[in-house]
Structure 1
Amino acid sequence: MKFKISIFIVAFLMSVGVFAQVDRSKMPEPGPAPKISLDKPEEFKLKNGLTVLVVENHKLPRVSYSLTIDNKPMTVGEKAGVESLIGAMMGNGTTNITKDEFNEEVDFLGANINFGFSGAFASSLSKYSDRILELMADAAINPLLTKEEFEKEKEKLIEGLKTNEKSVDAVASRVGGALSYGKNHPYGEFTTKETAGNVVFGDVVSFYEQYFNPNNAYLVVVGDVDFKTVKTQITEHFGKWDKSVAVDYTVPEEAPNAQYTQINFVDMPNAVQSNISLTNNVDLEMKDDDYHSVLIANKILGGGFNSYLNMNLREEHGYTYGARSRIGVDEYASRFSAGAAVRNMVTDSAVVQTLKEINRIKKEPVAQDMLKNAKAKYVGDFVLALESPQTIARYALNIKLNDLPDDFYTTYLQKINAVTADDVNRVANKYFKTENARFIVVGKGSEVLENLEKTGIPIKYYDAYANPTEKPNYDVEMPEGMDANTVLANYIEAIGGKDKVSRITSVVLKYEASAMGATVLVEEKRTADKFANVTSMNGSPMMSVVAKDSEMYMKQGGQKIPMPQAMLDDLKPSIGVFPELGFMASGKAKLSGIEKVNGKDAYKIEIPGSTVAITSFYDVESGLKVKEVSVINFQGQTQNQESEFSNYKAVEGIMFPHTKVGALGPQTVESKLVEAILNTGVTDADFED
C-alpha cells in the first residue's frame, strides 16, 4: 500500500515539475508547416481542344462537373449585357429536349445544372452521372435559344438594372471599375438599360457561336467515378462539340492610376450611408514572387475581423459594421481596394482613418503576434480546404490557367510561413499606392461634402455612370416667406384644394407589385384618427400595422406585437386621412432646404421624432409630394424606409400617386395603385385585433 502511495506522490510531483517548466506568458512557437501532398488529377484532351481533369474520390456516391471556357476578357460596347443574356438563357433545355422536360428530369434525378456565359456546373449522385453528363453536354452543344426566352430574360435584365439605379453599392461598383480600368476595358465596361435594350436575339446567337466553344475549354470532374469509364463518357458526349474558328482580339490597356491622391465623388441624394473605397491598379499574378507576401499584408490590413481597418473603423470608432481590403490577381488587370459603408456624418473621418491605417502598414513594422496570426489563419484555411476534393481540382486548374509551377501548392504553406515583417512593409509600399489612389465615395452630398472638403484631399465629381460632372449646388435660394406650413398647404392645394380634402373622411388605397416571384398587395386604410396597413403576398396576409389614438401594434404570423408609446407619439401627426394636415397642426414640421429628387428641386420637410423621424420632399413647381424617407429606431436597430411617388391622377377630384417605388427587403419594387376608395369601405373592425 505504501509502495502504491509513493508512486502516486512521485508521479504527482513530476507532473507539477513539468507544468512549472511551461512559461504561459509567451505564445507557443508554431510548429513546422504541415507537409502538403496533392494527388495530381488524371488528364486527357479531346480532339476539339477540351482539356479534362479527373479527380477520383470515392468517399461519397456523388460526382460534379465544372466546365470553364477560358476566353480572354472582352468588351461588347453598345451591346453590353449580351453576355449576361446568353448565360441566363443556357441550361434551360436543348434543341433535343424542351425546357420543361429538361428541368423536370434534372429535378427528378436530384441533380443540378447551372450555366453562365463562361461555363457551367453540374452535380448528381454517381449512379446518374452518365445521364447528367449527357444533359450537360447537350445543353452546351445544342442550347435551346428561342426568341421568346430571349425577350423574357431581356426584360428581367432591364428591370434589374432599374432596381439598381438607387443602389449606392451598385453605383460604387460601377463607377469604381469604370474609373480604375476605363470604360473601354473589359473590367471597366458596364451594362445599362440602353445597352441591354440594344441587344437583339441575333446578337445572343452570334455571341454563343463565337465564344462558347471547346477551343480553350476545361472540364473538371470530381467524385465517385472511374477514370476509364468517365473518359469514355466524356469522349462520347463532348466529342460531338465542334471546334470553332478562333476569334482573336486584343485586350485594351487599363487606365493609368490617379496622378495624386484624390476623392472621386458621386452624389446620391437617397443615400443613408456612404460607400467609400480607396483603390489603385496593381500588376500582380499568382506566379509572382510577391504573391504570398501580398496575401499576408492584405490579411493584416483588412482581410479579417482583427485587421487594422476593422479594428479602427468598426471597433474603435463605430463608423461601420465592417471594413475590409482586398487585392486582385489577374493576367490582364487587377486592383487593390480598401473601404467600408459608413454613416453619413462620419464619411470624412472614415476617409482619413482609412488612409491612416494604410500608411501605418507601409511605414511601421508589423507586430510579430499580428504576423503569426495572419499566417496561422492562412495555414488553417488551406489545410481545411484540402478536405474537399473540389479543392484539388481547382488547384490543378489554377496551375494550368495561371501558368504556375507544378509545386505551387505543395510549397504554398512554406512560402506563407517564410513571409517576414520586412516583406509586409515592402509589398505594402509596392502595391498599396496611397499616393496614386482614388477614393471612390458615393453618398449624400448635401450631408457629407462640406466635411470631405475639410480633409484637404482634392475632389473630382462624377455622375452615377462615371461621367465627369460639376460640383452639386446645394445653395438653392429659398423663396422669400417660404416655410414648412406654406409647403404643406401648397401640397393640399395641388392634390385638390382644402375644400375637397376636408370632405374626405376615409381613404382606402391598394397598391400592387410583383416581387420575389409573388404578387404583393399593400392595402392602406385611413380615417381622421386611425391607420391600418396590411401587406399580403399571393392573397395571404403577411403583416399588418395598426395605429390609433390609444395604441399601436404590429401583427405577424397571428402574433400581436405592441409598439412603444414613443413610436405612437411620433407617428400621431401622420395618422389622419392626409398626413400633411396633421403635420401642419402639430407645429413640428421644419423646412430644412431644397434638394434634388430625380433631377428636380424639391422642398425638404422634416418631422423629427425620438423613434420615428419622417422627411418628405415636395416638388417646387407642382407642389406634389415626390419622396418620403422614414428613419425608425426600434429595439436597438435603425431601419431606413424610402418611397418615391409619381404619376399623379385624380380620383373623385383628389390627386393620388399611381406609381410608388420603394424597397421590399433587398429589392426595389415598383407598385401601382389598383384601387382608391373615398368615404366608404372603412369600419371600426379594420382597426381591431
Structure 2
Amino acid sequence: MKPLALATALILGGCASETPSTLPQGVTLVESSLTQSGLHIPYEKYQLANGLTVVLHPDNSDPLVHVDVTYHVGSAREQLGKSGFAHFFEHMMFQGSENVADEQHFAMVTESGGTLNGTTNSDRTNYFETVPANQLEKMLWLEADRMGFLLPAITETSFEVQRATVKNERGQRVDNRPYGRLGEMSSYALYPQGHPYSWPVIGWMEELDNGTVDDLRAFFKRWYGPNNATLTIGGSFDKQQVLQWVDKYFGSIPRGPEVNDATKPKVTLDSDRYLTIEDKVSLPVLSIAFPTVYARHEDEAALDLLSDILGGGETSIMYKNLVKSGVAVQAGTGHGCRELACEFSLFVVANAGKMPELSKIEAIVRDSIDEFVERGVSSDDLLKAQVSHEANTLFGLQSVRGKVSTLAYNETFFDTPDLLQADIERYNAVTADDVMRVYNTYIKDKASVIVSVVPQGQTQLQAAAPTVPVRTPIAKETLKHADKVTDTQVADNFDRSKVPGSGAAPQMVVPSLWQQQLANGIEVMGTQSLETPTTTISIALEGGQRLLSADKAGLADLTASMMQESTAKLTTEQMALELEKLGASISVSASGYRTYVSVSTLTKNLDATIELLRQRLFEPAFNQEDFDRVKVQSLQMLQHQSKDAGWLASTAWSRLLFGTDNSVGQPTSGTIESVSKLSLDDVKGFYKQQFHGGNASVILVSDLEQKAIAPKLSWLGDWKGDATPWPELKPMPKLAGNTLYLLDKPGAAQSVIRIGRRAMAFDATGEYFEAGLMNFPLGGAFNSRINLNLREDKGYTYGARSGFNGGPELGSFSAGGSVRADATAASITEFVNELSGFAESGMTAEELAFLQASITQSDALKFETPSQKARFLGQIQRYDLPTNYIEKQGKLIETLTLDELNQVAAKQLDLSQMIILVVGDKNSIEEPLKQLGYDVVSYKL
C-alpha cells in the first residue's frame, strides 16, 4: 500500500486570488505559496513594520473567516516563583481593553454570530474567533485593541475577579478531578527546578496569590508586543481589503521588547525517580516518563512511531500484555513534544480486581519494552503508524480553523507556516532501523520518572517508595515585584473607539442533500463535501438503552463495546491492524435512544473499509474471552467514574427526573449492580433485538457524488428485520418543589449544582425551540445573566449555564455548574434569583435583539465540516424535518416577540416544579444549605 502523500496531490483551500499589486505602506510580502503544487495549505505571509507577522489563507468554500492571534509566550516564559501568569493573561485579555468595555469582547463576537476562545500552553498563548465573513473587520479591531490597549483595563477589581476564576478552573479541572494532579507532578519530578516545564501551565496557586497587578502589567509589556505575535486569517475575504484593515488597526501599535528563542536545555536523569500521589480514586494508575528531544528534532518522528508501536491501540505490545491479559483497564504510550523538550510516556490504569499492585504493573511494562527489542519492527508496524499519521493530518484539516491553527503553529515555532508535505515526508522516511536507534538512544537502560496514583490510604500499592522530595514553595519574601508600568501612547489617524460596522450578511449555504431508499426500506441521506478526500458514514439504529428494562442498564453499551472486538474472520487485533493500515476507523457506541456505527476513512480506501464494516455489522464473533475482558473493563471504569463529581451529578440527576425503574433514568454505561449480572447471552440477545434493518438509517458525507458512493452501500438493502417497538415507560417520579437532594462526596474541593425539572421533547420549530431561544440570554451564552453573575461578578465558578435538553420523547431543563465548596449555598441563592427574576420579568428588548443577531448570523458557521454536515442531515432524518427547517427557524427568530418569549419564560421557569441536586462535601456544606430553607434530603446512588 502506498502512503497517501506519495499517491495523491491535494491543495487544501478554496480559490486563491492573486497577490495584490500594491500593499499598504508598512506591509511587506515575505513569501507566497498560492501557486505551489502538491499537498499544501495555500498561504501568503506578510510582515508589518512593527514586526507583526501576518499569514493569510484564502478559502471561499464557506461564508466564514477564522482569525487567530498567537503570542509566542506561555508558561515557559514565566519567572521562577511567578507561575501562572501566561494563563492568567488568557483570562485578562477577555476582560475588555481601552475601547472595549468589560465583558464586551464575548458579547460582540457572540452577537456577530461567532464563536471564540483562547488557550495557553507552556510555549504559546492564542486567541481565536470564527465568524461570518462580513464580521472580519470587527474581529481585527477587537484583537488589535487588546494587543495595543489592554493596560488601561487592568484594574485591581478585574485582577481579583479573574484570580478567583483561575482558582475555580483549577478546582474543577485539577483538584476535583480524579488523577487531576498526575501531569503536573510528573513534570515537577522530570524537570529540574527552574526548568520552564517544571511548573504547571495553570500555575501553583500560592504563586498566583503572590502576584500583583504591577507584576501582571509588566508581564504583558514584556511579551505581548506585535513583534512576538502571528496574526493568521483564513476563509472568505478580499485580500487587499484585509491587508488595509490589518495595517490600520495593528500597524500603529509600538514594537515590544525583542524576543529571542528560548534555549533547549537537554534533560537527563541520573536514576529512576519515584513519586506517589494519594487521590480520591478507585483504580491505581502508573505513569512512566522518559525525557527525549524537542519539537521537530530529527528523531521526533521515529520516537512518535516507536510510541505507536509500543502502545498505540489494540495491535500494540502494551495492549496485548496489559489490557488483553486483563491486568489493566487501559494502557498506552505517548510522545508529547513541546518547543523545548519532549517526553516519552507510558501509562497503565490497573485492574484493581486483578492486579492493583503497581510494582507488578511496572514489571510487566518493562518486560513489554524488552519484548519489543526481541520482536523488532515489522513492515506492518511502520505502515500503520505512517498511514495513521497521514490520515489524522488530513482529518484535522477539514475546517478553516484546523488549517489556520496549523499555519499559526508552524509559523510561531518554525518560521514556516506550511509544513504539511514536509511532515508527511519525514514520517514516511522513518525506517525500522531508525525506530530501533531512537529506542536504544532514549529508552533502553535510561532513567525515568515513575508516578504512582493510588487510592487514599493505600500507599502499599505504589510502585516504589518515593525518592522525589516534596515540593517546597518559594518563599514569598524572596520575590521581587515589578515596578509600576505606564502605558505607551499610540498615534492613530482614526477614531479607534468607534466600533467597525459589518459588511453585507453572507448568504447561508445549506448543504445540498440527496436521499434514497434501499430495497428493505432503509433511508439513506447524503451530501458531498470537497474539503478533504475523506468519507464519513453514520449508521443509526433506533432503540439503544430505551429498549431495555432498568435492571439491564448498560447492556446496549456493553454490546456496542463487544461489536468492536473480534469478528468471525478477524481477531480484535487483526481488525485493528487492517483499519490502521487504511487510515480508517469503525466505532460502535450506544446512547439512551440509539446505537451508532460510525465510519471515517480516506476515500481512496473506502472499498476496503466497507468490507471491514460489513464484517463488523453482520459477523461479530461474540467470544466469551472478549466478553469477560470487556465486562471487567466496564465494571472497573464504573468504579472509577464513581469518584468523579460530574458523573455522580449526571447519574443522580437522571434518576431523580426519570426514575430508577426506567432505563432512561439510568446511565447508559449501567451500574456496577446491573453490569455485574449481564452475560454473553444477554449481549447476543440484544444484538438480535436491535441490529435490524428496520431500525437502521444511514448518513453519508463524502467527496464522492451520489452516483459514485451510493452503490457501495447497496448491500445494506439485504439487512433483514423489522423495527423494534419500545417498551412502555413506567410512571415518572413526582418532583417535589423546594426539595434539595444532597449527595455526599467527602473532601470535594467544589460542589456540582443542578436545578431543574422535566421538560419538552425535541422539536425544531415549536415550544422546545422557543424555550431554547428564551434561555439564550439567561444561561445559554457566555455573557448570559447566570454566567456573568456567578463567574464574573461573584467569582464562585469557572462557568455556569442553563439549558433545555430534548430527545425523541423526553426532555429536561437544568441550570448549574461546579462552584467553590465554600460558596455552595450562596451560589444556589444566585441561581434561584436569576431563574425567578427571569420568570417574573423576562428578557429585555436589548437581550432579544442580541439573541436574534447572534443566532441568525451563526447559521453561516453551521455546515462547514463533514461532521457538521452529518449532524445536520442526521437531525433531518431522525425527526423527519423538512429540508428547509433552518429557514423556518430563521423566520421564527425574526418574528417572535418579547411578550411571546417572556410567556415561555414564565411557563418553563416555574421554580415550584424544580428540584435541586448538590454533589459535594456534606460535612462542610450541609448546614449552610439547610439555612436556605429547603427540605434537604440526603441522597445516595
Q: TM-score, normalised by structure 1?
A: 0.62
Aligned position for 2:311 = 302
Please state whether the residue corresponding to 1:304 is helix, strand or coil: coil
| Residue 311 of structure 1 pairs with residue 320 of structure 2 | yes
Aligned position for 2:230 = 218
Partners of 1:81 and 1:199 within 8 A in 2: no
Please state whether the residue corresponding to 2:77 is helix, strand or coil: coil
The residue type equivalent to 2:64 in the other structure is R
Aligned position for 1:228 = 240
| Pair 1:255–1:54, CA change in 2 (3 A) | same
| Pair 1:435–1:375, CA change in 2 (3 A) | same
| Residue 328 of structure 1 pairs with residue 336 of structure 2 | yes
1:108, distance to aligned residue in structure 2 (A): 1.4
| Pair 1:402–1:128, CA change in 2 (3 A) | closer
Aligned position for 2:139 = 132
1:394, distance to aligned residue in structure 2 (A): 4.3
Structure with higher strand content: 1
1:198-217 matches, cutoff 5 A? 198-217=210-229
1:275, distance to aligned residue in structure 2 (A): 2.7
Q: What RMSD, in angstroms, separates the aligned Cα atoms of the two structures?
A: 4.1
Q: Larger radius of gyration, structure 1 or 2?
A: 1
For CA contacts below 8 A with separation 6 or more, give which structure has more relative contact order: 2
1:296, distance to aligned residue in structure 2 (A): 1.8
Aligned position for 2:188 = 178
Aligned position for 2:451 = 440
1:247, distance to aligned residue in structure 2 (A): 6.1
Aligned position for 2:8 = 34
Q: Deviations over 1:484-541 (max 9, x none)?
A: xxxxxxxxxxxxxxxxxxxxxxxxxxxxxxxxxxxxxxxxxxxxxxxxxxxxxxxxx9
| Residue 368 of structure 1 pairs with residue 379 of structure 2 | yes
| Pair 1:30–1:82, CA change in 2 (3 A) | closer
Residue among 256, 276, 279 paired with 2:268:
256
1:366-405 matches, cutoff 5 A? 366-403=377-414
| Pair 1:331–1:124, CA change in 2 (3 A) | closer
Residue among 120, 131, 135 paired with 2:127:
120
1:341-360 matches, cutoff 5 A? 341-344=349-352, 345-360=356-371
Where does the alignment leave 5 or more consecutive residues of structure 1 unmatched? 1-27, 468-540, 546-553, 564-631, 647-657
Aligned position for 2:206 = 194
Where does the alignment leave 5 or more consecutive residues of structure 2 unmatched? 10-37, 475-648, 664-670, 678-742, 750-820, 825-916
Q: Deviations over 1:623-682 (max 9, x none)?
A: xxxxxxxxx8332289x9741499xxxxxxxxxxx9899xx99998963522669xx999
1:512-527 matches, cutoff 5 A? none
| Residue 80 of structure 1 pairs with residue 80 of structure 2 | no
Could you tell me how far apart the structure 1 residues matched to 2:248 and 2:935 are?
69
1:70, distance to aligned residue in structure 2 (A): 1.6
Aligned position for 2:427 = 416
| Residue 242 of structure 1 pairs with residue 254 of structure 2 | yes
Structure with higher helix content: 2
Please state whether the residue corresponding to 2:81 is helix, strand or coil: helix
Could you tell me how far apart the structure 1 residues matched to 2:133 and 2:261 are?
40
| Pair 1:416–1:202, CA change in 2 (3 A) | closer
Residue among 284, 292, 295 paired with 1:285:
295
Aligned position for 1:69 = 71
Partners of 1:56 and 1:224 within 8 A in 2: yes
Aligned position for 2:569 = none
Please state whether the residue corresponding to 1:309 is helix, strand or coil: helix
Residue among 640, 643, 656 paired with 1:556:
656
Could you tell me how far apart the structure 2 residues matched to 1:134 and 1:393 are?
19
Could you tell me how far apart the structure 2 residues matched to 1:184 and 1:389 are?
38
1:48, distance to aligned residue in structure 2 (A): 0.9
Partners of 1:60 and 1:223 within 8 A in 2: yes
What percentage of residue pairs aligned between the two structures are identical? 18
The aligned length equals 487
Please state whether the residue corresponding to 2:138 is helix, strand or coil: helix
Please state whether the residue corresponding to 2:94 is helix, strand or coil: coil
Could you tell me how far apart the structure 2 residues matched to 1:392 and 1:100 are?
29
The residue type equivalent to 1:87 in the other structure is E
Could you tell me how far apart the structure 2 residues matched to 1:316 and 1:182 are?
37
1:396, distance to aligned residue in structure 2 (A): 4.0
Residue among 909, 912, 927 paired with 1:673:
927
Please state whether the residue corresponding to 1:351 is helix, strand or coil: helix
Could you tell me how far apart the structure 2 residues matched to 1:362 and 1:441 are?
26
Partners of 2:350 and 2:358 within 8 A in 1: yes
1:397, distance to aligned residue in structure 2 (A): 4.1
| Residue 636 of structure 1 pairs with residue 647 of structure 2 | no
Q: TM-score, normalised by structure 2?
A: 0.46
Please state whether the residue corresponding to 1:435 is helix, strand or coil: coil
| Pair 1:111–1:216, CA change in 2 (3 A) | same
Q: Deviations over 1:111-151 (max 9, x none)?
A: 23434562311221001111122122223322332221211
Could you tell me how far apart the structure 1 residues matched to 2:930 and 2:299 are?
66
Could you tell me how far apart the structure 2 residues matched to 1:450 and 1:265 are?
12
Could you tell me how far apart the structure 1 residues matched to 2:390 and 2:338 are?
23
Could you tell me how far apart the structure 2 residues matched to 1:168 and 1:675 are?
26
1:357, distance to aligned residue in structure 2 (A): 2.2
Could you tell me how far apart the structure 1 residues matched to 2:919 and 2:260 are?
40
Partners of 1:355 and 1:434 within 8 A in 2: no
1:166, distance to aligned residue in structure 2 (A): 6.2
Could you tell me how far apart the structure 2 residues matched to 1:353 and 1:151 are?
49
Partners of 1:75 and 1:189 within 8 A in 2: no
Partners of 2:748 and 2:920 within 8 A in 1: no
| Pair 1:166–1:39, CA change in 2 (3 A) | closer
Could you tell me how far apart the structure 1 residues matched to 2:423 and 2:446 are?
32
Residue among 43, 46, 49 paired with 1:44:
46
1:107, distance to aligned residue in structure 2 (A): 1.7
1:216, distance to aligned residue in structure 2 (A): 2.1
1:405, distance to aligned residue in structure 2 (A): 7.7
| Pair 1:201–1:54, CA change in 2 (3 A) | same
The residue type equivalent to 2:63 in the other structure is P
| Pair 1:263–1:418, CA change in 2 (3 A) | same
Aligned position for 1:148 = 157
Could you tell me how far apart the structure 2 residues matched to 1:384 and 1:681 are?
51
1:417-496 matches, cutoff 5 A? 417-444=428-455, 447=458, 449=460, 452=463, 460=467, 462-463=469-470
Please state whether the residue corresponding to 1:104 is helix, strand or coil: helix
Q: Deviations over 1:173-208 (max 9, x none)?
A: 121111111231111124233212111222222221
Choose 412-421 or 102-111, whichever is displaced more.
412-421
Choose 103-112 or 405-414, whichever is displaced more.
405-414
Could you tell me how far apart the structure 1 residues matched to 2:238 and 2:317 are?
49
Could you tell me how far apart the structure 1 residues matched to 2:283 and 2:661 are?
29
1:490-509 matches, cutoff 5 A? none
Could you tell me how far apart the structure 2 residues matched to 1:299 and 1:220 are?
32
1:466, distance to aligned residue in structure 2 (A): 10
Could you tell me how far apart the structure 1 residues matched to 2:213 and 2:186 are?
31
The residue type equivalent to 1:81 in the other structure is G
Partners of 1:65 and 1:221 within 8 A in 2: yes
| Pair 1:155–1:660, CA change in 2 (3 A) | closer
1:330, distance to aligned residue in structure 2 (A): 3.8
